[in-house]
Chain A
Amino acid sequence: MSLDDLYKETILDHYQHPRNRGQLEDPDVATRGHNPLCGDEVLLAVKMDGDVIQDIAFGGRGCSISQASASMMTEGVKGHPLGEASALAGSFKELMTGSGSTDGLEGNEDLEALQGVKKFPVRVKCALLPWTALLEVIDRWQSAKGEPARS
């Protein structure tokens, strides 16, 4: 185990230069992901165009892992249909808590940098926080639209 596994350059880059950090003027859905144990917070806002995430922004405060993961997540889902966003969340969860397979992460190679977090089990929840918020946003949007929630 080495700290280099955790604090990879890609992660520090997203932490220091977060993509899509800020607020949306008129979001269709917003939520707050919060880890009460450590205080990490990810505020997530989404502007939809039909079924497509037209714009997404995150705010809040937290450790390098939660904030870098949020930055990567927004990059991965912006401009994509909800189904793809949901699938990406599933693939990322599989990477972090399941088999460790990188299947489904094609085009989002930055996310693989978070794989090293698995060696620091207490930090896995930091990496997952923004994705949990994303799934919450998808759920809310779909139930507002009267569509069946994700299974």
Chain B
Amino acid sequence: MAEQTRDTRGNDAATRSNGGAIGTPLDVAAIRRDFPILARQVHGKPLVYLDNAATSQKPRQVIQALVDYYETMNANIHRGVHALAEEATDAYEGARRKTARFIGADGPDEVLFTRNTTESLNLLAYTWAADNIGPGDEIVITTMEHHSNIVPWQWVAERQRAVLKWVEFGADGTIDLADVERLVTPKTKLVSMTHMSNVLGVINPVKDVARIAHANGALMLVDGAQSVPHLPVDVADLDCDFLAFSSHKMMGPTGVGVLWGRRAILEGMRPFLGGGEMIESVGREVTTYNVLPWKYEAGTPNIADVIAFGAALDYLSALGMDRVRAHEIELATYALERLGGVKDLTVYGPLRAEQRGGVVAFSMKGIHPHDLAQVADYDGIAIRAGHHCCQVLANTLEIPGTARASFYVYNTPEEVDALVAAVEAARDIFSTEVSTVVAR
């Protein structure tokens, strides 16, 4: 408890290999050497990995942490008295402390490990929402949410006869706080919103929205799946009540999610899954529960991956999240400029990099996003095509989907150039007018 403080996040490890003073750019060449996968070729060409919003690549430090755990300390945690169990427990709980520091939590007991962001959101839907949302109550979300921040609330609304209300976004992909003011009422119990859209790239004013939610007596849940890996995020500064995010989008392994919540709220909630670890005592009639955070971690957790997630947090902290953000503003600015110059190409979301993260979704007249992604793949470029788990957003924009490039610390302007060249190659393929011999 004593060792986490809100102001050390991102700075405590700044002297590590890739570290540097705040304000100096990242040493991208050195970073790239830490990611073994970036050395491989795809279809005979160097891999250009631009699908970071789906999942990021992993530095060797994270991969090594997994190997080290299994080779040197593999044991089940918390109940063992032998040396391995103690070491594994320390490493696992150490990752929890690192997570708490990384997001400015009031203590590691506010950090719950889940499988992913989706499970974090569902945990709240099945616990907090089950006891705190009733008939006629309102849940406010936006039309840009990922399916994982829609479907659980649709279920809550259905089960508990509550009302789901939608904040729309404008032509530039931003939401209007006046709409939030209008939609959030004293009947609203929860406002749940993505901090950064995985399609539009827009960064939402969640701090302002939290203020509106609290003024109406509602709680504020922030989906940080896209923001926590890419921006400095501090829950005390945002003054939100819950924050959900995933390890695998921030250099950590798959299979680890985080739910942060205010201590008082988490203490008052019923547990999620029942089983070992989450109990204090089990009797024939009466069962009592463990304290935070273990009350919410039934069964053997994902020990190895949580520990390796800690290594990912070390890596990002050494880089400094301010510098990560600065690098991505630079890349997004360049990508918006280059893609903006391509004929028949439409970019979605805000056109100012300061309003957005390093996610750039686009479409091209006459070419389906899958065909764009296919042509890019042929050049070794990994981008994503489709609705990106945001069908409400796609339907709102009246598009079948988009192609999406998303950046991280290891991406370079040259990789943006490669993407633009691939997009232009796709246009060449599809603009070739072929002679039609059969009558239409």
Contacts and interface: CB of A to CB of B under 8 A. Distances in A.
B375 A12 contact: no
Contacts of B366: 16
Nearest to A4: B429
26 contacts: A3-B429, A6-B374, A7-B429, A7-B430, A9-B432, A9-B434, A12-B429, A12-B430, A12-B434, A13-B436, A15-B430, A16-B366, A16-B434, A18-B440, A19-B438, A39-B386, A39-B400, A39-B401, A61-B400, A62-B400, A63-B369, A63-B370, A64-B368, A75-B438, A123-B370, A126-B370
Nearest to B401: A39
Contacts, number: 61
B433 A16 contact: yes
Contacts of A7: 371, 429-430
B387 A39 contact: yes
Given A63-B368, A64-B368, A64-B430, A123 B440 contact: no
B430 A19 contact: no
Contacts of A37: 386
Contacts of B430: 7, 12, 15-16, 64
Taking residues whose C-beta sits less than 8 angstroms from the other chain, chain A's interface range is 20 to 34
Contacts of B375: 3
A62 B385 CA distance: 12
Contacts of B429: 3, 7, 12
A19 B394 CA distance: 27
A136 B107 CA distance: 57
B173 to A, nearest CB: 20
Lowest 6 CB-CB distances: which A-B pairs, in order?
A63-B370, A63-B368, A13-B434, A17-B436, A61-B400, A9-B434
A1 B370 CA distance: 18
A9 B430 CA distance: 10
B400 A123 contact: no
Contacts of A6: 374
Given A3-B429, A63-B368, A17 B440 contact: yes
B438 A63 contact: no
Contacts of A16: 366, 430, 433-434
Contacts of B440: 17-19
B70 to A, nearest CB: 33
Contacts of A61: 368, 400
Nearest to A7: B429
Contacts of B386: 37-39
Given A6-B374, A63-B370, A126-B370, 12 more contacts: A3-B374, A3-B375, A3-B378, A7-B430, A12-B429, A13-B434, A17-B436, A41-B400, A62-B370, A64-B371, A64-B430, A123-B374
Interface of B: 43, 366-371, 374-375, 378, 385-387, 394, 400-401, 429-430, 432-436, 438, 440
A41 B370 CA distance: 13
Contacts of A18: 440
A61 B386 CA distance: 12
Nearest to A9: B434
A89 to B, nearest CB: 21
A120 B374 contact: yes
Nearest to B432: A12
A12 B434 CA distance: 7
Nearest to B435: A13
A63 B430 CA distance: 12
A63 B366 CA distance: 10
Most chain A beta-carbon contacts within 10 A, residue among B369, B370, B394, B400: B370
Contact of B370 (A12, A38, A75): A38
A63 B436 contact: no
Contacts of A126: 370
A10 B432 CA distance: 12
A62 B369 CA distance: 9
Interface string A26-55: 000000000001111100000000000000
A51 B99 CA distance: 67
A1 B43 contact: yes
Interface in A51-76: 61-64, 67, 75
Contacts of B432: 9, 12
A60 to B, nearest CB: 9
Contacts of A64: 367-368, 371, 430
Contacts of A17: 434, 436, 440
A16 B429 CA distance: 12
A37 B387 CA distance: 9
